[in-house]
Amino acid sequence: MAELGETQPGYLGRESLTDEDGRDLVVIYYADEASITAWKAHPEHLEAQRLGRERWYSSYSVEVARVERAYVFGREEEGPRVPHEG
C-alpha cells in the first residue's frame, strides 16, 4: 500500500515508527483535503482496509490533521530532520 500511496496525486511524503511493543505510528502527508479524500476512496486502499480489519488488526486509530506550520532544528554536523518530502 505504501508504494501505491506514493503514486497518488497530492502525496508529499511519509514517516513511520515502530515502538518496542510493535505498535506502529505512520504519518502520511498530502497536499490538500481533496488528495486525502481521493486516497481514502481508492479501490485498492479500501480493500486493504477491509482485509486489515478482518485479518490483522483488533483496533487502530486514524487522525487527520492539517499542518499549519512546521519547524526544524538540526546541528550543522547532524543535518536537520526533514518532516516530509516535497
pLDDT at 60 over 80: yes
pLDDT for res 1: 87
* 66 burial level (CB within 10 Å; 0-12, 13-18, 19+): exposed
Q: Per-residue pLDDT averaged across 13-38, rounded?
A: 93
pLDDT for res 78: 61
Residue type, 56: W
Cβ(64)–Cβ(36) below 8 Å: yes
User: pTM of the full predicted structure?
Assistant: 0.74
pLDDT at 72 over 60: yes
CATH number of 1-86: 3.30.70
pLDDT for res 73: 86
Residue type, 18: T
Cβ(24)–Cβ(16) below 8 Å: yes
51 alpha-carbon distance from chain centroid: 18
pLDDT at 84 over 80: no
